[in-house]
Amino acid sequence: MALTWTDKYKLITRNLAEWLGDEKLKSILKTRDLKLYWGTATTGRPHIGYFVPMSKIADFLRAETEVTILFADLHAYLDNMKAPWELLELRTQYYEAVIKAMLKSIDVPLDKLKFVKGTDYQLSKEYTLDVYRLSSLVTEHDAKKAGAEVVKQVCNPLLSGLLYPGLQALDEHHLKIDAQFGGVDQRKIFTFSEKYLPMLGYEKRIHLMNPMIPGLAGAKMSSSEDDSKIDLLDNPATVKKKLKKAFCEPGNIIDNGILSFSKHVIFPLFRDNEVFNVQRTAEFGGDVSYSKYEDLEVAFAKQEIHPGDLKNAIEVYINRLLDPIRKEFEANTKLKSLANKAYPVQKQKIVEIEITPARLDIRVGKIVEVKRHPDADSLYVEKIDLGESNGPRTIVSGLVNFVPLNEMENRMVVVLANLKPANLRGILSHGMVLCASVEEPTRQVEPLRPPINSIVGDKIVIEGYEDGVADDVLNPKKKVWEKLQADLVVNGDGVASWNGNLLLTSTGNKITCDTLKNVPIK
């Protein structure tokens, strides 16, 4: 059935953050199809965040819009040389290959789509003359302000970065389009264009703006921050690992990259009668489905959907999007070679080791001897067996006021074993017994409880960080323990966790606390 102009208007504008030129948009749609371009500077590797503009481009194409995708290779170099000149052509080829693969993955009609490189026309006599004409009108202040959200900001900006907004404005005229599509972070460039193009005698264009969705870490999704995004060629195991670490606070619908991706990519791409499935155990209500994003958001806000269940659900849909892309690159040696050449592995500078809980050496121990500290009324001196060949360790713990002496004897405990030895009132302590601790209304301290039948010396890992290597000794100057300890808690189920990831023995059993819940571990 033929689409009406109002049908096209709804498709074009749905899920946009904002658009400028509404009356002009309606006027064009009443008489003919819209002509639009979306540009992307060929800098960092495209990631799943690119499915956000791609899903809108799918809307445009289904609304019978003539879409031009501009690979802004010249812009990429001008933006503080984010792409070296010698890599521009390779990166442009990679962008074209991967974006075509993305569009095939979401099954959009391509008959009204074309690809253009910036250097195909931006080096022409006509375009160059327009650059000079524009430069005679634009102030340094306006150029810097226009690029503030897009061009990398430095104390002494290069002239190239100041040219960037003007070139993007001129693209609208030289590509002969009615509208430009981009992120809401480009709004200042769009208003710059609306101000200056008429000064050159050119038409003011329509501007359509997508929202900026948060990345996995909760901030803007960025090509330069590995933890904030999933690469289009990441394998399923890597996808799972990145999602597990993603920020997804219970009930938080504002800075939630998982929900935003669902809203702007997954749901818009659903076909008729397709629903978003969240699988859950019967204990937590069983499987549930949503045909509208708004219903999913409400359920998450009410904490009816657990972050772990939402992550597991979105993982299925992300892999469904990525599978055709991965298969195409896996089967084509030229594409694999292109990806490696366009983004060669950089020699890494010596950098600080990432602070993750894998750096903690946590083990199950057994108290084989305990007595009061001779010079401190609140301290116990314990001999704790950690299964080491040189015998039990001496560890000093401030538990006198919280655990009776007879309950300490032969008790199984959880020990942080790679702290730097500390002198506590004349006795050297070689570790720390980990405890749940709360200060108010009255102070309570309770040692964590390893599962029944635990083995002395068994290493305890944090879910999702099983493959890491613990430091031999934690450097107190780097405050590794202090930074990690801030996210160690006993959750509402009485189970020890770090940032939502459970502490587990080698057999997968949980570390618990007898009575305290929702309290820090210290």
- For the stretch 144-186, pLDDT in tens is 888 877 766 566 667 877 888 999 999 999 999 999 999 999 9
For 328, the token pair is 């195409």
Topology of domain 5-210, per CATH?
Rossmann fold (3.40.50)
**Residue 227: predicted pLDDT:** 55
What is the CATH code for 236-342? Answer: 1.10.240.10
Please give the Cα distance from 470 to 493 (Å, whole number).
27
Q: Where in the chain is the domain with CATH 1.10.240.10?
A: 236-342
Question: To which residue do tokens 């812009």 refer?
Answer: 75
Question: Which residues, in sequence order, are CB contacts of 289 under 8 Å at separation 6+?
Answer: 275, 276, 277, 278
Output the DSSP codes for 455-485: PTTPEEEETT-TT----SS--GGGTHHHHHH
**39-82 per-position pLDDT tens digit:** 998 888 889 889 989 989 999 999 999 999 999 888 777 765 55
**406-458 per-position pLDDT tens digit:** 999 999 999 999 999 999 999 999 999 999 999 888 899 999 999 998 999 99
Mean pLDDT of 180-204: 95
222 pLDDT higher than 70: no
**370-390 per-position pLDDT tens digit:** 999 999 999 999 999 999 989
Q: Where in the chain is the domain with CATH 2.40.50.140?
A: 357-520
CATH H superfamily, domain 357-520 = Nucleic acid-binding proteins (2.40.50.140)
In the beta sheet, which residues pair with residue 35?
A: 66
Could you write out the three-class secondary structure of 398-452? Answer: CCCCCCCHHHHCCCEEEEECCCCCEEECCEEECCEECEEEECCCCCEEEECECCC
For 264, the token pair is 């702007």
Instruction: Say whether pTM exceeds 0.95.
Output: no
